[in-house]
Amino acid sequence: MQTSQNQQMSKKQQVLERLFLQCVQKNSFEFSNSDVKQVAAAVDFGNPFDATKVDSREILPQSIRQQGYCIAHIGKGRHRFIPELRNWYHDFETILSQEVIEWRYRKSLLNDLDRGEASALSFVFNQHILHDFIYEDVVASPKIYVPGRSRATIEYTVGNTHIKAEDQQLEMDLVLEYQGTVTVVEAKNKDFNRFTNFAVYQLFHPIKYYLNKVYIPHINACYVLRQASSAASDETKVRLYLYEFAAPDRLDSIRLVRKAEYYLRQR
């Protein structure tokens, strides 16, 4: 039975399940990158650094999800399984028909050469979709920051769990500043039907980082999903979700401000 289950799971899921079972057996739910490397080698998973990156709840093995656990990063190469699955991920809200905006654009030379996150951000910024959605003003001129990777110690609560992440590495795709408002932007190239939820820490960690550094009158976060067209099509769809956190020390205080889908057609 175990062999059959392993065949149905990806190697990444096998790594996560073995790590979880080890934690249960030792009655300690904390584990390190060294533990990840050992288990990854045992199941022949070639990229151990990717094993603990769980962007949506479906990436977790069913055995872990059934018990309500997820993975929190606690810094210095350490991680912990915490019983906060329900609070750790947020389901993307349904886009209503009146929230779909047709957006005519002229394709540039470099629009669709890359499929990465940076390409998605460049696309929505260059076409002024971010300006229209976040500021409701296509001629707004926000300052742009591309922080990349930073490190910080952040402390917060999710559900009934307190987390202190020491010297935690933070990844930020893009940060905008305009008229006293800072917006952290996260982007993915994903199929809308398959990528239906996201790990809230991707937005919350950068916000905590900035709030700990400097006084900011207003800070929010924008999640961008681009569903790129096929080579034979001239259509692209982009969904944007603007979020705020009602309590700056609680990851589970996320709330939606607005949402929209931009249906792009080439001129």
pTM: 0.92
Distance between CA atoms of residues 171 and 136, nearest Å = 27
Q: What is the pLDDT of residue 116?
A: 65
User: Of 31, 59, 83, which residue sits at a domain end?
Assistant: 83
**Residue-averaged pLDDT of the chain:** 92
Q: What string of H, E and C letters represents the secondary structure of the chain?
A: CHHHHHHHCCHHHHHHHHHHHHHHHHCCCEEEHHHHHHHHHHCCCCCHHHCCCCCCHHHCCHHHHHCCCEEEEEECCEEEEECCHHHHEEECCCCCHHHEEEEEECCCCCCCCCCCHHHHHHHHHHCCHHHHHHHCCCCCCCEEECCEEEEEEEEEEECCEEEEEEEEEEEECEEEEECCEEEEEEEEECCCCCCCEEECHHHHHHHHHHHHHCCCCEEEEEEEEEECCCCCCCEEEEEEEEEEECCCCEHHHEEEEEEEEEEEEEC
Residues 51, 75, single domain; the answer is yes
**Judgement on whether residues 55 and 154 belong to the same structural domain of the protein:** no
pLDDT at 267: 77
Pairing of strands 148-158, 161-172: antiparallel
Pair of tokens at residue 8? 């149905």
Read off the tokens for 224: 């961008």
Q: Under a CB-based contact definition with an 8 Å cutoff, are residues 38 and 32 in contact?
A: no
| Sign of the alpha-carbon dihedral angle for 166, 82, 59, 256 | negative
Spatial distance between the Cα atoms of 170 and 10, rounded to a whole number of angstroms? 26
Are residues 13 and 124 located together in one domain of the fold? no
Domain coverage including residue 259: 91-266
Do 171 and 250 belong together in one domain?
Answer: yes
Torsion sign, CA atoms 191, 197, 199, 205:
positive
| pLDDT tens digit sequence for 40-86 | 999 999 999 999 999 999 999 999 999 999 999 999 999 999 999 99
Is residue 203 located within the same domain as residue 103? yes
Listed as ranges, residues in the chain with pLDDT below 50 are 1, 3-4
Confidence (pLDDT) at 3 = 47
Count how many domains the chain has: 2
- Residues making up the chain, counted from first to last: 267
pLDDT reported for residue 115? 63
Question: Helices 33-42 and 11-26: crossing angle, nearest 10°?
Answer: 120
Domain match, 61 and 15 both? yes
Same domain as 218, residue 112: yes
What the block records as the tokens of 253 is 């205080």
Residues 74 and 183 in one domain: no
What was the pLDDT predicted at 1? 41
Same domain, 103 and 170: yes
- Domain end (from 83, 116, 140): 83
Q: Are residues 133 and 167 in the same domain?
A: yes
Q: How many CA atoms lie within 13 A of 193 on its CB side?
A: 0
pLDDT attached to residue 228: 62
| 152 & 96 share domain | yes
